[in-house]
């Protein structure tokens, strides 16, 4: 499937396939920021984190990370997991610039992905 509309995801019926790590992380952070169910969502997302990945992200998690790194990611919680994912799959500067100019990129996304 191809992201022809440059949304960072492809929707097939009732299934979402994320093509952009930042979009994926933003979606999950939105679920944990929910004032009603956020506290319940966070531990569930962490426990299911590997099953939410596919493609290059799943290969990264299964083959690039050692077992101790995977354990560390889970122990750091959902924000730690998403930070690790974003560190491995940072946004392309050209794509970021284009999204910024098109009004699809927000300052909070840039701050969340800026290396220390």
The answer to whether position 4 is within a domain reads no
**pLDDT value at 105 more than 90:** no
Q: Considering its fold, how many domains does the chain have in total?
A: 1
Q: Which domain holds residue 43?
A: 9-113
The answer to whether position 3 is within a domain reads no
pLDDT band at 1 (very low <50, low <70, confident <90, very high): low
Write out the DSSP string of 20-79: -HHHHHHHHHHHHS-TTTHHHHHHHHHHHHHHH--HHHHHIIIIIS-HHHHHHHHHTHHH
The answer to whether position 46 is within a domain reads yes
The answer to whether position 53 is within a domain reads yes
The answer to whether position 33 is within a domain reads yes
The answer to whether position 2 is within a domain reads no
The predicted-structure confidence for 33-42, as pLDDT tens digits, reads as follows 888 888 888 8
User: What pLDDT, on the 0 to 100 scale, is given for residue 22?
Assistant: 83
The predicted-structure confidence for 67-100, as pLDDT tens digits, reads as follows 999 999 889 988 889 999 989 998 777 776 776 6
**pTM for the model:** 0.69
């Amino acid at each position: 499937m191809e992201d022809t509309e440059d949304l960072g995801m492809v929707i097939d019926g009732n299934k979402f396939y994320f093509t952009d790590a930042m979009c994926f992380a933003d979606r999950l952070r939105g679920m944990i920021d929910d004032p009603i169910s956020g506290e319940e969502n966070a531990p569930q997302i962490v426990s299911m984190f590997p099953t939410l990945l596919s493609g290059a992200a799943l290969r990264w998690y299964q083959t690039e990370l050692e077992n101790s790194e995977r354990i560390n990611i889970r122990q750091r919680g959902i924000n730690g997991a998403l930070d690790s994912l974003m560190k491995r799959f940072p946004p392309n500067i050209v794509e970021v610039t284009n999204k910024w100019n098109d009004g699809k990129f927000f300052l909070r996304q840039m701050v969340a992905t800026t290396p220390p």
